Chain A
Amino acid sequence: DIQMTQSPSSLSASVGDRVTITCRASQSISTYLNWYQQKPGKAPKLLIYAASTLQSGVPSRFSGSGSGTDFTLTISSLQPEDFAAYYCQQSYNTRAFGPGTRVEIK
């Protein structure tokens, strides 16, 4: 099975900060990588699919990059509504999620 890791597991940041989250696959998954945001008590929300394509309606401050085994999610200027958990997901074979990164207010 392909293992997904994320770093960091949590981070503290301020409004306006640039935030980068990393996701790594244990073997190449091409660009079959999605990113989700989840707030407490809610279902995950799709932000980016195919590593770098922004889902309709998602603000342009979110961006994704990478291919193969290494991927990043960047929030260019953190907004109050962005404090949440973020998960990567590979769709190369299974559809497993990474362990997540919690973005907290500094």
Chain B
Amino acid sequence: QVQLVQSGAEVKKPGASVKVSCQSSGYTFTNYDINWVRQATGQGPEWMGWMNPNSGATGYSQKFQGRVTMTRSTSISTAYLELSDLRSDDTAVYYCARSGFGTGVNFDYWGQGTLVTVTS
């Protein structure tokens, strides 16, 4: 069965960086995009960007351009999200989600979420 398993909770200081991992199993990793979505407490989901694990191509939400990097290791079917220059309003649960490529996609499988807390 398809599974996306994320790394554990993180506590970071303002200005630091965080790297969250998402290990995929149960399907061919390079056949689907990995998307990253975050959700602050009481707020709706916020899409951050996508990555094509086959080519490494990425597409980032304008809001996060310059602060976000999405990478992968195909040998271990794992995607990574790195967010730099953290601020208190980056405190949220971060999810990875699988989708098809291009236009008209949907997020059919999700990771369990990783809580990132930014506090001094």
Is B47 interfacial (CB-CB < 8 Å)? yes
Contact with B along A70-99 (1 / 0, CB 8 A): 000000000000000101010111111111
Residues of B within 8 A of A34 (CB): 106-107
Report Cα–Cα, A1/B97, bound state, in Å. Answer: 22
Known: A1-B62, A32-B104. A44 touches B110 (CB 8 A): yes
Is A19 interfacial (CB-CB < 8 Å)? no
Residue of B45, B97, B106, B111 near A91 (CB, 8 A) is: B106
- Does the CB pair A95–B99 fall under 8 Å? yes
Residues of B within 8 A of A1 (CB): 62
Residue of B47, B50, B107, B112 near A46 (CB, 8 A) is: B107
Is B105 interfacial (CB-CB < 8 Å)? yes
What is the distance, in angstroms, from A18's C-beta to the closest C-beta of chain B? 24
Residue of A nearest to B61 (CB): A94
Contact with B along A31-70 (1 / 0, CB 8 A): 0101010100001111001100001000000000000000
- Does the CB pair B45–A46 fall under 8 Å? no
- Does the CB pair A43–B95 fall under 8 Å? yes
Residue of A49, A93, A97 near B45 (CB, 8 A) is: A97
Residues of B within 8 A of A95 (CB): 35, 47, 50, 99, 105, 107
Report Cα–Cα, A46/B107, bound state, in Å. Answer: 7
- Does the CB pair B113–A32 fall under 8 Å? no
Interface residues of B in 85-120 (CB under 8 A from A): 95, 97, 99, 103-108, 110-113
- Does the CB pair A97–B95 fall under 8 Å? no
- Does the CB pair A87–B45 fall under 8 Å? yes
B residues with a Cβ closer than 8 A to A are 35, 37, 44-47, 50, 61-62, 95, 97, 99, 103-108, 110-113
Instruction: Please name the 7 residue pairs, one residue from A and one from B, whose CB atoms are nearest each other, closest first.
Output: A43-B110, A49-B106, A100-B44, A34-B106, A97-B45, A95-B47, A32-B104
Q: List 9 A-B contacts (CB under 8 A).
A: A32-B103, A36-B45, A44-B95, A44-B110, A89-B47, A89-B106, A91-B104, A95-B50, A97-B45
